[in-house]
């Protein structure tokens, strides 16, 4: 059964979005819920397709705010799914403007995870 | 010369992203995550509302993923483009047409039921399913009366189904809080062989069910 594991950065971002952009946070969490259902249904986590889902370099997936009513700011929830441990890592949340830096940040997170450095504190 | 200092507030001011590590805290669902991470009631209720408005659309997309059909393939089967499928799956349930639902079902080879109206309570839903089961069991019993071979098969099926129903009740009963209970489910299997008794749940009142 797939599980969700937040990162220390995601916890900080969640607090910021909770105060400043709660609707955007709700939108990406609703899309995370859909993503988890698709993941459960699908045989291959890398083949998921949805309008709110973007495949980024290094296996990182960005979930946006689409499908949620209202005029929301472009927002991305960056995640990484590990098939072996059936874990979806929540890495960070960012806006469209921060996209490039956020993807680099996520790639580093994934590299640490793969090398075994990104262990639980 | 007068100097003006302009301070720019950027998105990055919200927090400097330093090295992140997994927290070690694992959640089985988004609802569980929101509980555990202290997400506000306002955000939780907005998520719940959005998911309720897109429940059918999400299930159609789930069926497509389970069948291993891409959006492009689904588009071809429904005489639509890939972008139309993406838009449909990102939309609201109210925007779906019966033709689109039917198209998904034909493509995936699944069978679904659609219900409109006030949601049923768990108790009402169990009663509704029980009446449905009764109708099917009666239809099977009628078939069994027509032919001897069918009678044997239906008898075997009734026995198996009865055992399965009891097992389901027993498993669910075990999830109730531990404490004094007036209800007990005890099953006794009677065969040609020596009698074996299996007590599924302890308690006071006993009823014997013959399979």
How far apart are the C-alpha atoms of B211 and B200, rounded to whole Å?
Answer: 14
| Contact yes or no for A9 and B89 at CB 8 A | no
Tokens of residue B104, six digits? 């998904």
Q: What is the mean pLDDT of residues A30-40?
A: 96
pLDDT at B50: 92
Q: Which residue of A has its CA nearest to B73?
A: A49
Q: Which residues pair with A4 in a beta bridge?
A: A88, B27
Q: Element (H or E) spanning A87, and its range?
A: strand A87-95
Query: pLDDT by residue (tens digit) across A53-107?
Result: 999 999 999 999 988 878 899 999 999 999 999 999 999 999 999 999 999 999 9
Which of chain B's residues have a Cβ under 8 Å away from the Cβ of A26?
Answer: 43, 46-47, 50
Q: DSSP letter for B24, please.
A: S
| Contact yes or no for B11 and A97 at CB 8 A | yes
pLDDT at B175: 86
Please write down the long-range contacts of B102-106, taking CB distance under 8 Å and 24 or more positions apart: B103/B74, B103/B77, B103/B78, B104/B60, B104/B63, B104/B64, B104/B74, B104/B78, B105/B63, B106/B77
Q: Is pLDDT of A35 > 60?
A: yes
pLDDT at B117: 86
Q: Smallest Cα–Cα separation from B188: which of B207, B205, B209?
A: B209
Which of chain B's residues have a Cβ under 8 Å away from the Cβ of A42?
Answer: 65-66, 68
| pLDDT per residue of chain B (211 residues) written in tens, 0 to 9 | 444 444 334 454 555 777 889 999 999 999 999 999 999 999 999 999 999 999 999 999 999 999 999 999 999 999 999 999 999 999 999 999 999 999 999 999 999 888 888 889 999 999 999 999 999 999 999 999 988 899 999 999 999 999 999 999 888 888 888 766 666 666 666 655 544 444 444 443 444 444 3
Sheet containing B186-189: give its strands across.
Answer: B196-198, B186-189, B208-210
pLDDT at B189: 61
pTM: 0.75
**Residue among A6, A22, A79 with most chain B CBs within 10 A, to mutate:** A6
Domains of chain A and any CATH numbers: 3-114 (3.30.2310.20)
Q: What is the mean pLDDT of chain A?
A: 92
* pLDDT class of A43 with cuts at 50, 70, 90: confident
Q: How big is chain B by its Cα radius of gyration, in Å? A: 28
pLDDT at B9: 40
How far apart are the C-alpha atoms of B51 and B54, rounded to whole Å?
Answer: 5
**Residue among A19, A28, A50 with most chain B CBs within 10 A, to mutate:** A50
Domains of chain B and any CATH numbers: 34-108 (1.10.260.40), 122-210 (no CATH)
Query: pLDDT by residue (tens digit) across B26-72?
Result: 999 999 999 999 999 999 999 999 999 999 999 999 999 999 999 99
**Residue among B16, B20, B24, B70 with most chain A CBs within 10 A, to mutate:** B20
Which of chain B's residues have a Cβ under 8 Å away from the Cβ of A33?
Answer: 29-31, 47, 51
């Amino acid at each position: 059964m797939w599980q969700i594991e937040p990162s220390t950065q995601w916890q900080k971002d969640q607090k910021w979005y909770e105060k400043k952009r709660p609707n955007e946070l709700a939108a990406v969490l609703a899309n995370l819920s859909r993503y988890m259902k698709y993941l459960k249904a699908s045989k291959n986590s890398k083949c998921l397709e949805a309008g709110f889902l973007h495949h980024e370099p290094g296996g990182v997936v960005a979930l946006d705010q689409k499908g949620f009513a209202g005029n929301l700011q472009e927002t991305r929830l960056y995640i990484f799914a590990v098939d072996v441990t059936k874990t979806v890592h929540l890495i960070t949340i960012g806006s469209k403007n921060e996209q490039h830096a956020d993807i680099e940040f996520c790639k580093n997170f994934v590299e640490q995870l793969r090398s075994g450095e990104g262990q639980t504190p | 010369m007068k100097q003006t200092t302009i301070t720019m507030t950027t998105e990055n001011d919200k927090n400097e992203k330093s090295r992140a590590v997994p927290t070690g805290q694992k959640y089985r669902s988004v609802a569980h995550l929101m509980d555990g991470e202290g997400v506000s009631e306002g955000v939780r209720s907005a998520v719940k509302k959005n998911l309720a408005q897109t429940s059918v659309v999400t299930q159609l997309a789930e069926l497509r993923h389970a069948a291993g059909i891409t959006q492009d393939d689904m588009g071809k089967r429904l005489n639509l483009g890939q972008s139309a499928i993406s838009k449909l799956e990102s939309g609201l349930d109210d925007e779906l047409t019966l033709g689109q639902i039917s198209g998904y079902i034909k493509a995936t080879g699944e069978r679904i039921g659609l219900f409109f109206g006030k949601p049923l309570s768990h108790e009402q839903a169990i009663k509704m399913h029980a009446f449905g089961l009764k109708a099917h069991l009666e239809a099977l019993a009628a078939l069994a009366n027509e032919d001897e071979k069918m009678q044997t098969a239906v008898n075997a099926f009734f026995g198996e189904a009865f055992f399965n129903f009891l097992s389901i009740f027993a498993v669910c009963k075990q999830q109730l809080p531990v404490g004094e209970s007036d209800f007990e489910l005890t099953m006794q299997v009677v065969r040609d062989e020596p009698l074996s008794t299996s007590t599924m749940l302890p308690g006071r009142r006993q009823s014997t069910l013959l399979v």
